[in-house]
Amino acid sequence: MEILDGKKLAKKIRQQVKGEATQFVERWGRPPSLHVILVGDDPASHIYVRNKERACKKTGVASHQHLLPQETGQAELLQLIRKLNADNDVDAILVQMPLPKGIDSGLLLSAIAPTKDVDGFHPINLGKLYAGRAALRPCTPLACMRLIEETGVELPGKNAVVVGRSTVVGKPVAALLLEQHATVTICHSRTRNLAHVIAEADVLVAAAGSPELIKGEWLKRDAIAIDVGINRLEDGTLTGDLEFEAAAARASWITPVPGGVGPMTVAMVVANTLTAANARLTG
């Protein structure tokens, strides 16, 4: 079994982005820029935003934060998004989720210009993903795919099982696996006999948000196991959706939590910022 080290791979990606960001500055006279909108005081969200800012600094991507109070209204947020959409020096816009109650997150995400939608959640970008067309693609699913690529295992014809069907992770990662010619099964809370489905998986992507839901003994021997789940236990420790030790005993490759998909997602945000900037400016 080998550990898929997300921290190490994220560093490699940041180095690539740094080189490309330098070229971008030479060509356009300014760095690519990411604007993050964060509403309220959710501590986890503040950590995520700080991590993105750090990754930007390390790569020479300009990061701008719009830290807004909890009581900020929807109209004000829409106005800010429209202003950023219209600003030619803004390449990428990210609205940190979750938003306070009463704000329609779908409406805000749809207001972001699709060309600046670094998270790839705009319906146009999600539609293009399903249509197999070039577009900005969601960062966590991209992170999962890049980690799988690192194993060197060829995906065509492999059985891939995704646990979770959210728009943020489950559905888009399933689309990406399908694009790579895997035979994809998507599981969710109504799936019958999850263990039985997982036993067939050459590649497993777990994104249920349920601590150690997936038992190690369910895994097919030598499976690739990607654990997206981030679950904080009562004692403050983080755990994934997989029973790590037991899963590691059966898997050929496995991502740890923390240190797997998390740091890679942040690296993909920065990489997507550059993709957005290049695509927009070169038309």
Residues annotated as catalytic (active site), given as ranges:
52, 96, 119
Is position 208 an interface residue for ligand NDP (rule: CB under 6 A)? yes
CA dihedral 197, 160, 11, 211 (to 10 degrees): -10
Q: Go through the chain and tell me how many residues it has.
A: 283
What is d(CA 116, CA 188) in angstroms, rounded to the nearest whole number? Answer: 31
Residue 176 CA: distances (Å) to CA of 12, 32, 94, 102, 230:
22, 26, 21, 32, 21
Scanning residues 231 to 270, which ones bind ligand NDP (CB under 6 A)? 231, 261-262, 265
Contact pick of 141, 216, 229, 256 for ligand NDP (by CB under 6 A): 229
**Smallest distance from the beta carbon of 257 to ligand NDP, in angstroms?**
8
Residue 91 CA: distances (Å) to CA of 33, 64, 84, 216, 280:
5, 11, 9, 42, 8
Contact pick of 63, 115, 125, 140 for ligand NDP (by CB under 6 A): 140
By beta-carbon proximity to ligand NDP, the closer residue of 125 and 140 is 140
Is position 230 an interface residue for ligand NDP (rule: CB under 6 A)? yes
Is position 214 an interface residue for ligand NDP (rule: CB under 6 A)? no
Is position 126 an interface residue for ligand NDP (rule: CB under 6 A)? no
Parallel/antiparallel/unpaired status of strands 62-68 and 159-163: unpaired
Q: How many positions of this chain bind ligand NDP (CB under 6 A)?
A: 26
Is position 203 an interface residue for ligand NDP (rule: CB under 6 A)? no
What does 193-246 look like in DSSP terms, one character per residue?
Answer: -HHHHHTT-SEEEE-S--TT-B-GGGSPTT-EEEE---EE-TTS-EE-SB-HHH
Is position 189 an interface residue for ligand NDP (rule: CB under 6 A)? yes
**Smallest distance from the beta carbon of 194 to ligand NDP, in angstroms?**
6
Contact pick of 64, 165, 215, 280 for ligand NDP (by CB under 6 A): 165
**Smallest distance from the beta carbon of 144 to ligand NDP, in angstroms?**
9
Residue 164 CA: distances (Å) to CA of 173, 180, 214, 243:
10, 19, 12, 17
Is position 84 an interface residue for ligand NDP (rule: CB under 6 A)? no
Where does this chain bind ligand NDP (CB under 6 A)? Answer: 140, 163-166, 168-170, 187-191, 194, 207-210, 213, 228-231, 261-262, 265
